Amino acid sequence: MEIHRYEKAWFVAGMVLIVGFIATIAYGAVGPGIAMVDDSGGTVGADPIANGNWNSTDAFREPGVYRTGENSFDVYIVAQRFAFNPGTGEPVRLPTGSEVTFYVASADVMHGFNIAGTNVNVMVAPGQVSEMTARFDEAGTYGIVCHEYCGAGHHDMAGTLEVVPQSEYDYEAANSEQREQLRTLQGGDR
Amino acid sequence: MATITPDETDTAAETDEQVLDEERDAFVDKFPTEARLTRWTFLVAFVALGIGGLFGLIQALHRTGAFRGFVSSADYYTILTGHGVLLVLVFTTFFISGFFNWAITRSLDRGSVDPRVEYGGFAMLLVGTVLAAVAILGGLFDSVPLSADVLFTFYPPLQAHPAFYIGAALIVVGSWVVGLGWFRRFWAWRKNNADERIPLQAFMVLTTMVMWYVATIGVAIEVVVFLIPWSLGLIQTVDPILARTLFWFFGHPVVYFWLLPAYLAWYTIMPKLAGGRLFSDPLARIVFVLFVLLSTPVGFHHQYVDPGIPEGFKFVAMTNTMFLLLPSLLTAFTVVASLEHAGRQQGGSGRLGWLKTLPWGKPAFSGMALAGLMFAAGGFSGMINAGMNINYLVHNTLWVPGHFHLTVGTAFALTAMAASYWLVPQITGKRLQLRGVAAIQPYMWFLGMTLMSNAMHRAGLIGVPRRTAEPQYEAFNYAQTVGGYGEMRIQIALGGTLLFVALVMFLAVMFATILAGKGGNLRVNSEFPEPLSGADDAPKVLDNLRLWAVFALLLVALAYGFPIYSMIQSGALDPSIPAVPVSLAGWLPI
């Protein structure tokens, strides 16, 4: 079989492009450490999320912001048609420069969890906890969007994330529920 | 080498009008039964295209806020489901059935072994379409107790009426049965031509169908084993991630089921329309074999941001996906080389001067060429989607429909329209009508898609989601970019309107042609020039379809065996997740 020399050159250039793409992605994982969403969040039954029986599962906690270290936080969010809790009724509040791990679970159908214009982008499936870690260096109000169709009110399912400078972040008095959680944490829960 | 009868150009003298009917050399006269089946499939395809396209216009105007008077935002999702199902399932499958039926008949130069098989498949496609369409459109009427607002991807636990799933299953099974008719023809041909190379178009049809049989295993299991019994209440629960995995097992290769017929047109029809010939038959065969092997074990790249799936499986799918670029890159070379050869044959010279001698006034040619150009752009945005880490920025944003309106929405759809301008006269025996409208229609589509698609891509980058009736929120604004989101919305609404105008132009040409009287010599025929490098240059092993089918299944087993096994190990068969029927849910904000 005869292959034209331009065809051979094109083939080689194509393979270089392909291998190059794979190499950049491998480098992204190993170098800058861009982790993929995976199964690390674990599975969770439908009942604890839908009915709020938080004590019946180790995989999830009562929705809210939990301080886990000097400048690191865990945020537990329930996605339920057509709201994020927290996020929709009250914003999720975090200080700048904090390392945040989101744990998002669905109470009913497939949802999406996307902080608009950022890399925080994950599917939320009933039965699974979606885990994703991010850092917010710039203060501002970010939009949280449900980007997977979830029913007739899907377009109303959105919320906000407020990132404020550390000096303005009220670690003690964010809200009463959150304070309660922080107290629990200081008591050595985590 | 066969004598070539060139297609007449649009400016040909009208003297051929005087040629008597008996001297016509039309496909319809030689294969009347096959031509009739293709006519029927095209008719259904065009009706689906018209309704689906109208739904597209409604969406473009609704979600940009240009006009929201057609439907409520709750019913937007009924329209969106209809748009997806009618265009990517019904229009494509019917058109491909008719187009491949023509290609394999012409290529093997023989009719059906038993036309009841192909017609039986067509009947299943039709019944399936009616069931699915009724279930979807029922969502628009409160008095009809049917609803299927689950979109084209129908992820459980959102639950549609059983008629929707049964209809979807019948469409897939119908395509299998039509394909069986083509394989029976091939086996009959093989008996009499034991040592012959498979003619190129037949090779393309058969390899595409091998890929399709492998790919549809996933959705067949999802729908038949899980969703139909579940929607009938026979089983209580379906695991959402397992269902998504089975769906995307099918959901990526289905795009090649749309693309490969376009490739068939670009490889075999377009060079002839340009006044030249295919550059390389062996390379075309290699490309189609690569698609058989690589199309299916890639579905996890639609699930990069899914929970419940280990990173390793995603990485394997990413690698396979990147290698899937190869056959498309090779296609770009071969198709452009064929066109350059044609341009130079017509007297074109210089580095790019040959482009000017191509027949840009012939809609069949210009449509395919513009479709190919847009596919190149769509290919590049596809590379971004395939990039596992950068996908974080674009997953489920408007970028994604921006991408696939270039691929299925133009590479396939515009090629199908262009091929229709050339093929419908041959299957009806009627000359193409409204030729002036036809000549500008591909350019109208190209312009509309340029506006709509570039704006959708850019809107995706600032986080505007796909699949939503009102992508503007009270609580926050999208990041400011050049032009701003307002400018993108205008482009999307305007582009969608131009696309609908182009669609109406296409349908006007088609229905005027179908309703026109027979008579006169056709200006087109189904004879093809020999490739510059012919089939004899291709290794014989390429024609071993059984071998490629076995390899394809092995690769699928490697890519999916362990992931699905581990999902089942972690309880995917008994997930106890309640169904959420769309027909009862209504609009109940919680």
Largest Cα–Cα distance of chain A, in whole Å?
A: 76
Among residues A108, A146, A114, A112, which one has the least CA distance to residue A127? A108
pLDDT at B24: 59
Check whether A189 has a pLDDT greater than 70: no
B21 pLDDT above the threshold of 80: no
Q: What percent of chain B has pLDDT over 70?
A: 94
Tell me the shortest Cα–Cα distance from A73 to chain B, in angstroms.
20
For A46-55, B138-147, B201-210, which range has the lowest pLDDT when averaged over its residues?
B138-147
Q: Name the pLDDT band for B495 (thresholds 50, 70, 90).
A: very high
| 3-class DSSP state of A89 | coil
For residue A50, count other CB atoms closer than 10 A to its CB.
Answer: 17
Whether the predicted pLDDT of A178 surpasses 90? no
Structure tokens at B28: 């319809």
Cα gap B164→B153, rounded to integer Å:
12
> Which residues 143-182 of A are in CB contact (within 8 Å) with B?
143, 145-156, 158-160
- pLDDT level of residue A180 (50, 70, 90 thresholds): low
> How big is the A-B interface in CB pairs under 8 Å?
230
CA distance A129 to A53: 15
Query: Sign (positive/negative) of CA torsion B30, B33, B36, B38?
Result: negative
Taking alpha carbons only, the member of B349, B341, B324 closest to residue A4 is B341
Yes or no, beta carbons of A125 and B307 under 8 Å apart: yes
Using 50, 70 and 90 to split pLDDT, how confident is the model at B127?
very high
Q: What is the mean pLDDT of residues B429-444?
A: 96
CA-CA distance, B197 to B41, in Å (whole number)?
29
| Residue B121 near residue B54 (C-beta atoms within 8 A) | no
Tokens of B168: 């979807």
Query: Which uninterrupted H or E stretch holds A135?
Result: strand A129-136
Residue pLDDT, tens place only, B324-374: 999 999 999 999 999 999 999 999 999 999 999 999 999 999 999 999 999
Q: Is B467 a catalytic residue?
A: yes
Span A125-139, pLDDT tens digits: 999 999 999 999 999
Looking at residue B304, its pLDDT comes to 96
Of B322, B469, B477, the CB nearest to A155: B469
Q: Tell me, yes or no, if A2 comes closer than 8 A to chain B by beta carbon.
A: yes
CB B450 within 8 A of CB B384: no
Q: Contact A114/B463, CB-based, under 8 Å? A: yes
pLDDT of residue B247 exceeding 70:
yes
Asked if the model's pLDDT at residue B590 lies above 80, the reply is no
Residue count (chain B)? 590
pLDDT score of B156: 95
Amino acid at B235: I
Mean pLDDT of B209-235: 96
Is B256 part of the annotated catalytic residue set? yes
Supply the pLDDT for residue B572: 86
Mean pLDDT, chain B, rounded, equals: 92
A92-95 and A158-164 beta bridge pairing: parallel
In which band, very low, low, confident or very high, does the pLDDT at B11 lie, cut at 50, 70 and 90? very low
Determine the Cα–Cα distance for residues B148 and B168; give it in Å rounded to an integer: 11
Residue B479 and residue A117: Cβ atoms within 8 Å? yes
Looking at the complex, does the CB of residue A69 fall below 8 Å from at least one CB of chain B? Answer: no
Mean pLDDT calculated for residue range B213-221: 96
How far is B294 from chain A, CA to nearest CA, in Å? 14
pLDDT exceeds cutoff 70 at A172: no
B467: amino acid identity, one letter: R
Cβ contact A109–B304 (<8 Å): no
Give the separation between CA A50 and CA B77, rounded to whole angstroms. Answer: 25
pLDDT greater than 90 at residue A188? no
